[in-house]
Amino acid sequence: MLLAVVLLSGVANAAATEPEFALVVRDHRFVPDEIVIPAGTRVRIVVENQDTTPEEFDSHALNREKMIVGRSKATIYIGPLSSGRYEFIGEFNAATARGVVIVK
Amino acid sequence: MTPTMNGTPLHARNVTLSSRLRAGAFACGLCASFAASLAWADPDDYVSTPAVEYGERELELRYGTATDPGGSRRDAGSIAFGYGATPWWFTEVYAKFQRAGGGSTHYDAVEWENKFQLTEPGEYPVDMGLLVEIEAPHDRAEGYELKLGPLFQKDFGLVQVNANAFLAHHVRSSEPGATDLSYQWQAKYRWREALEFGAQGFGEVGKWDNWDPAHEQKHIAGPALFGKVGVGGRQVINWNAGLLFKLSNAAPDRTFRAQLEVEF
């Protein structure tokens, strides 16, 4: 455990270098509803919920669940991923909040 | 220009992570200074994962049955309510029950479990969390049990691997003892949301600083299934079950364990 603390402390002090992508939740929809990212690369998706109600980014393909409170932002890290399509939904409004990460 | 991440100055984000890590290291050091014996883990034990879902509310049911080396059977179960109180803290309270041999089912203990997400999933090569449990048994002679340890998770494509290690000790016990070391692990292939399959294992090696001989240690492992089913709106049922077999002489011959979580 102490070794893990030391290792992660060192990593935490390193500057962030992942590519960043923006995703907006507006009127219970994701904008854009497609994000294209490079294969084999860890990326950072900053999700801004512009609605007043919470939304949950949910993707089995990406193995990610993240609550974003209304009028706030959250960061989701994904990858490195192999080429393909990875779907995600907004669990609170699954009928309309749908999107896909396309990895090329 | 000050480097930022998600609008937050990088140094501030690192302070938050470093603070969580220092708190975790202090808690682990504190636990290692105590001493008590740890009975074999309950057959309804489960593998913890480091991620916390903010605002999640869940009802949890657990059941396990184990056939001990002597042929006797031991059953355990629990019911719990859990809540994601913050983006990095999940707290859960359990009522635990047991039945040994042909006896009746009786109330065994109340447990307060706290999980702390130390890193954002995928931000670092390994996801990390910390589990801290306090158990107050019905039999006060057993003393209060404090258990804590790190939680690790890493994805290899569609394969998710978890590995955890715990130190446990009893306070105010009628019998002195030592701090014991246990572990748990699982690996699963995330085939479909409704069905994932893999394996799980649990074990105890004895005192953390003086392991028992191999024939006295307890190790079990076996296949496991996992799944998640939406039942309307935000309500979700998560389930998993494992059939575990002894890998050491002192371990139960067979253990079946299952867990059901209803998120609402």
Q: Is A6 helix (H, G, I), strand (E, B) or coil?
A: helix
B30 Cβ contact partners less than 8 Å away, ≥ 6 residues apart: none
ipTM of the complex: 0.87
B23's tokens = 């708190």
Arithmetic mean of pLDDT, A23-45: 97
Q: Is the pLDDT of residue B31 over 50?
A: no
Mean pLDDT, rounded, of chain A? 89
Q: Is A5 helix (H, G, I), strand (E, B) or coil?
A: helix
Arithmetic mean of pLDDT, A37-63: 97
Q: What is the pLDDT of residue A17?
A: 85
Q: What is the pLDDT of residue B172?
A: 75
Q: Between residues A69 and B102, which one has the greater pLDDT? A: A69
Q: What is the pLDDT of residue B67?
A: 93
Q: Choose, out of B8, B13, B21, B131, the residue to mutate when testing the contact with A (most A CBs < 10 Å).
A: B21
Chain A, residues 30-89, CB within 8 A of chain B, namely 42, 44, 46, 54, 56, 60, 63-65, 67, 69, 73-79, 82
Question: Which neighbouring-strand residues pair with B116?
Answer: B89, B130
Q: Between residues B171 and A68, which one has the greater pLDDT? A: A68
Q: What is the pLDDT of residue B27?
A: 45
User: Given an 8 Å threshold on Cβ–Cβ distance, is A79 in contact with B128?
Assistant: no
- Model confidence pLDDT, tens digit, residues B121-168: 999 999 999 999 999 999 888 788 999 999 999 999 999 999 999 999
Tell me the count of A-B CB pairs closer than 8 A: 80
Partners of B122 on chain A (C-beta within 8 Å) are 42, 64, 76-79
Three-state SS across chain B? Answer: CCCEECCEEHHHHHHHHHHHHHHHHHHHHHHHCCCCCCCCCCCCCCCCCCCCCCCCEEEEEEEEEEECCCCCEEEEEEEEEEEEEECCEEEEEEEEEEEECCCCCEEEEEEEEEEEECCCCCCCCCEEEEEEEEEEECCHHHCEEEEEEEEEEEEECCEEEEEEEEEEEEECCCCCCCCEEEEEEEEEECCCCCCEEEEEEEEEEEECCEECCHHHCEEEEEEEEEEEEECCCCCEEEEEEEEEEECCCCCCCEEEEEEEEEEC
Q: What does the alpha-carbon distance between residue B213 and residue B210 come to, in Å, rounded to a whole number?
A: 9
Q: Find the CB nearest A77 among B56, B118, B122.
A: B122
User: Given an 8 Å threshold on Cβ–Cβ distance, is A1 in contact with B5?
Assistant: no
Q: Provide DSSP, A22-71.
A: EEEEETTEEESSEEEE-TT--EEEEEEE-SSS-EEEEETTTTEEEEE-TT
Q: Choose, out of B13, B54, B263, the residue to mutate when testing the contact with A (most A CBs < 10 Å).
A: B54
CB-based contact (8 Å) between A92 and chain B?
yes
Arithmetic mean of pLDDT, A86-101: 96
Lowest mean pLDDT among B4-8, B113-117, B208-212: B4-8
Q: What are phi and psi of B223, to 5 degrees?
A: -70, 155
pTM of the complete model: 0.86
Q: What is the pLDDT of residue B101?
A: 83
**Plot region of A28 (φ>0 → left; ψ -120 to 50 → alpha; else → beta):** left
Tell me whether strands A84-90 and B89-100 are parallel, antiparallel or unpaired: unpaired
Q: What is the pLDDT of residue B71?
A: 84
Q: What is the pLDDT of residue A16?
A: 58
Residue B20's pLDDT band, with cuts at 50, 70 and 90, is low
**Side chain identity, residue B27:** A
CB-based contact (8 Å) between A8 and chain B?
yes
Mean pLDDT, rounded, of chain B? 87
Lowest mean pLDDT among B15-19, B72-76, B152-156, B209-213: B15-19
Closest residue on chain A to B167 (Cα): A1
Q: What is the pLDDT of residue B142?
A: 77
Arithmetic mean of pLDDT, B69-85: 94
Question: Which neighbouring-strand residues pair with B145?
Answer: B135, B170
CB B97 within 8 A of CB B108: yes
Arithmetic mean of pLDDT, B89-96: 97
Partners of B14 on chain A (C-beta within 8 Å) are 12-13
Q: Is the pLDDT of residue B17 over 80?
A: no
**Plot region of B6 (φ>0 → left; ψ -120 to 50 → alpha; else → beta):** left
Q: By a Cβ cutoff of 8 Å, what residues of chain B touch chain A?
A: 3, 5-7, 10, 14, 17-18, 21-22, 24-25, 28-29, 51, 53-56, 84, 87, 118-125, 128, 149-150, 152, 155, 157, 160, 165, 190, 192-193, 228, 234
Arithmetic mean of pLDDT, B88-117: 94
- Model confidence pLDDT, tens digit, residues B200-236: 999 999 999 999 999 999 999 999 999 999 998 789 9
